[in-house]
Amino acid sequence: MSPNLCLLTVVPTPVRRRCALHYILLHLLGYKLSMDDLKSFRQVDSLTPGHPESSHTDGIEVTTGPLGQGISNAVGLAAAQAHMAATFNKEGFDLITNHTYAFLGDGCLQEGVASETCSLAGHLQLGNLIALYDDNHITIDGETDVSFTEDVVKRFEAYGWHVQVVKDGDNNLESIYNAIVEAQKVKDKPSLIKVHTTIGFGSAKQGTESVHGSPLKADDIVNIKKKFGFDPEQKFHVPDEVYATYNAIGVRGAEAEAKWDALLAQYAQKHPEEHKELTRRIRGDLPEGWEKKLPVYKPGEKNAASRKYSEIVLQAISAGIPELVGGSADLTGSNLTRVKEAVDFQPPSTKLGSYAGRYFRYGVREHGMGAIMNGLSAYGGIIPFGGTFLNFVSYAAGAVRLSALSQHHVLWVATHDSIGLGEDGPTHQPIETAIHLRAIPNLHFWRPADGNETSAAYLFALQAKGTPSVLSLSRQTLPNLENSTIEHAVKGGYVLHDVEGENLNIVSTGSEVQIAVAAAELLAKEGVKTRVISLPCWEVFDAQPKEYQLQVFRSGAPYLSLEAYTTVGWQKYSHEQYGLAAWGASGPYDKVYEKFGITGPNIAAVGKKVAEFYQKRGGEVISPILHAI
């Protein structure tokens, strides 16, 4: 489907009636949803799950079950349209012109993420965004009078939105139509149309919370069918004239698409390079040879924090991957996410940038940033990345989870990733965040140990089309390690320091790998032969062939894990674990590491104890990754 025909983003809330309506409309419009699919609503393995999933059902653009996510995705979709239009539209060739439409309810507006994104949408003057607010005064707890009495109109006017009110949404359909037409005329503000409706309109329990999430009784369904002129004996029946009406819409759409295809063909003749670039980006193909720009390091080269190595990668590849569009949640100077030649994504009227700009100023809105990035990714032609501290990715957990579920190609540049950030103390030091992210299916959590591993993380993350990635990056400097290469690290795990006849293996990630190496060197002097394994991405390593995995985690000697996080999860890769039992501490980072015993000498002492314990116990030490299932 051509970009200018992506006219509708339906944003369902967790209400059975809205999910069902969504599926019914897709069925009528000719999407791959049969009547049998509709009959399988909310059944296992059906195409009509309880909340629509974009990677599961044809015609679903974004997965939005958690409230507030849908309108926030819509902001990302609208921003993507503005960016792609500013980048590719030429005089006489308005290829990318669509509006994004969103339906939302009281619950959506109560979620904080909606406030974050709608505030930013107003600042960005996204005139292509039109939201219809179903104001029915009901949530699951009952009347909104118990918890939600704000003036939504004034709120959105304060955000910089154009706002209209339709007083009788149950009956006055012409007013809704006219309000949409009026909103389309507004080019410099997003639009909110507040539509007063009655929940469960026509049922015996209309206007109550009883119809919010529960099906109607059989007798009530009969009465509603009679009330609106349908045969109460017929079930799952669509009159022929209804199919004919929707088929006509399909024909109209096909004609519009054919017209667009013809315009695109003319564009190819007039602007061949732009056409080549646009179609490549729509396909989702990366530019050829971009990976040759990735920085490569040798041992002994100048040390840098992995956030700095990340900045060097972005600077090296940004020009060659124009679809890489980034930003930061008000931490640009700390995340190091803005390349030198970057132009901000801003309304031209502000003179702060342009819609063709590739750098987003998200403000202090981590959750909103995550949800907007999902929308940017869903639109196509854009690979979004966003920067914040690793600890604050927790603020965006709902959006990160939906990235993984929806298979959005999104990158998080998550700096200040451990107790190594030092003085900011436990409130900023992410102890539990890594295991939370590692537990999310279809999410790659990378924690590189040096420059080559950082380049490898970007290499894999940018090629992983259907998987979001979190790059966990240090504030403190890290040395470039012996035997670290992009080719090794891109496998997710490898032997960094090898010996024969080992007495101990230490497996680690990120800033602690250098400490593991230092410990191995000290242990060697005491006759304890120690291998060191770097495991920058568990999920990618687990996808490697079992033969390779067992080469890295071979049997014969115990494995000690080392990471400045909680040790939860490390039992999968080690016999013994060393990490943090509680929160971090405030102070210079090296003193904080000393406090918790994460130093070369102490890890050497711990490692020697582990090696001696297993030697005295006797018997074969089996690889921790060898299991029956």
Q: Is 137 annotated as a binding residue?
A: no
Distance from C-alpha of 198 to C-alpha of 509, rounded to nearest angstrom: 55
Residues 6 or more apart from 570 whose CB is under 8 A from it? 561, 563, 577, 579
Q: Is 328 annotated as a binding residue?
A: no
Q: Is 151 annotated as a binding residue?
A: no
Provide DSSP, 541-594. HHTS-HHHHHHHS-SSS-EEEE-SS--TTGGGT-SEEES-SS----S-HHHHHH
CA distances to 8, 119, 163, 368, 506 from 156, rounded to whole Å, are 21, 8, 7, 16, 55
Q: Is 16 annotated as a binding residue?
A: no
Q: Is 424 annotated as a binding residue?
A: yes
Residue 139: both structure tokens together: 């949530």
CB 573 within 8 A of CB 558: no
Residue 182 falls in the annotated catalytic set = no
Q: Is 212 annotated as a binding residue?
A: yes
Q: What is the 3 state secondary structure string of 221-265?
A: HHHHHHHCCCCCCCCCCCCHHHHHHHHHHHHHHHHHHHHHHHHHH
Q: Is 322 annotated as a binding residue?
A: no
Q: Is 65 annotated as a binding residue?
A: yes
List the beta strands (DSSP E) in 239-390. Answer: 304-305, 324-328, 359-361, 383-389
Q: Is 284 annotated as a binding residue?
A: no
List the beta strands (DSSP E) in 244-401. Answer: 304-305, 324-328, 359-361, 383-389
Rounded to 5°, angle at Cα 310 from 428 and 433: 30
CB 8 within 8 A of CB 101: yes
- Whether the CA torsion 605, 611, 616, 617 is positive or negative: it is positive
Q: Is 136 annotated as a binding residue?
A: yes
Q: Which helix (DSSP H) or strand (DSSP E) does residue 163 occupy? A: strand 162-166
Q: Is 334 annotated as a binding residue?
A: yes
CB 345 within 8 A of CB 357: yes
Q: Is 94 annotated as a binding residue?
A: no
CB 540 within 8 A of CB 605: no
CB 489 within 8 A of CB 451: no
Residue 446: both structure tokens together: 């990378």
Distance from C-alpha of 176 to C-alpha of 193, rounded to nearest angstrom: 8
Rg (CA), the chain: 28
CB 496 within 8 A of CB 533: yes
Q: Which residue has the tokens 């996510």?
A: 69
Which one of 61, 366, 453, 563 is the catalytic residue?
366
Q: Are strands 138-139 and 142-143 parallel, antiparallel or unpaired?
A: antiparallel
Q: Is 27 annotated as a binding residue?
A: no
List the beta strands (DSSP E) in 372-456. Answer: 383-389, 411-415, 444-446
Q: Are strands 142-143 and 324-328 parallel, antiparallel or unpaired?
A: unpaired
Binding-site annotation: residue ranges for thiamine diphosphate: 65-67, 107, 136, 212, 392
Binding-site annotation: residue ranges: 65-67, 106-107, 136, 138, 212, 307, 334, 392, 416, 424, 428, 475
Residues annotated as catalytic (active site), given as ranges: 366
Binding-site annotation: residue ranges for Mg(2+): 106, 136, 138
